[in-house]
Structure 1
Amino acid sequence: MDIKLELVAVPVTDIDRAKAFYERIGFHADHDITVSEEIRFVQLTPPGSACSIAIGKGLTRMTPGSLDNMQVVVADIEEAFADLKGRGIEVTEIEDMPWGSFVYFSDPDGNGWAVQQTTPRARQDPEETD
């Protein structure tokens, strides 16, 4: 039996501001549906990902900004760092750990994200970095 993670709710205060932020970092807006006065569903998907996020109204009881350490994976952390900076995102410097290289950022509500290159830069084959 396969079990696939396909959607994670991200609690936000201002749906339109959050949607614009996630689109700015490259997420694709798949759906934006107002079901009723109590429910608005916005689904956004990172490029190349099988899992999306959902922001909106009436989707979760989590407090906006309470989601910590959502993680996405990239092939090149230096490229991801430069791309996020180029999009005007406040991002940490690259941190190298034994299990990968990381940068971190938060959305406008403070929900925390980690971007990981699974092969630490220090362990890459020198020919791969040319």
Structure 2
Amino acid sequence: MELTLEIVVLPVSDVDRSKAFYTRLGFRLDADFTTERGLRVVQVTPPGKGTASIIFGENLTDAAPGSVRGLHLVTPDLEAARAELVTGGAEVSEVWHDADGIFHWAGSRNRLPGANAQHDSYSSYVSFDDPDGNEWIIQQIVDRLPGR
């Protein structure tokens, strides 16, 4: 079987505000259409190769706006990605790592300030929320594990 994650649906309260937010952050606007019956779909894609898109709009999901937690984006340069997100208007955390050194706990539990001391891939993060509170985490990966 071959499967690819293509789209993640985000619940938002204000479609135009979300569209402006994500495009300011450098997400590519792929589509914005509305049907005669009131279905609106906005699709944006984060910068980078081989990344899934997100869609939001009207009548797409029954989930509460801001209820999505732990969406992950990956970058080889965490400081540069953080700077670009801040320039785009996102309120981005300072760099942090998990005290256990293995992924991270939910919420802000077990977080320590600064990058992982060994600067290992998969171990340092920044985070931000979109205007509705959907949570994004940016993870630094320079060297991928075998098979990835």
TM over 0.5: yes
- Is 1:75 the counterpart of 2:76? The answer is yes
Superposed CA RMSD in Å reads 1.5
Which digits, 9 at most, give the CA deviation of each residue in 1:44-93, with x for residues without a partner? Answer: 00112430000101111110010011110011001111111222211100
Tell me the distance in 1 between the aligned counterparts of 2:87 and 2:21.
14
Any unmatched runs of 5+ in structure 1? 121-130
| Secondary structure at 1:92 match in 2 | coil
In structure 1, how many angstroms separate the alpha carbons of the residues matched to 2:36 and 2:62?
17
> How do residues 34-113 of structure 1 correspond to structure 2 at under 5 angstroms?
34-48=34-48, 49-97=50-98, 98=101, 99-113=122-136
Q: Among the aligned pairs, what percent are the same residue?
A: 46
Number of positions where the alignment pairs a residue of Structure 1 with one of Structure 2:
120
Displacement of 1:37 in angstroms is 4.0
TM-score, reference length from structure 1: 0.86
Equivalence for 2:106: none
TM-aligned CA deviation for residue 38 of structure 1: 2.7
Contact 1:101 1:119 in 2 (8 A): no
Structure 2, unmatched stretches of 5+, are 102-121, 144-148
Q: Which has more helix, going by share of residues?
A: 1
Kindly report structure 1 stretches of 4+ aligned residues shifted beyond 4 Å.
none
The structural deviation recorded for 1:119 is: 4.8
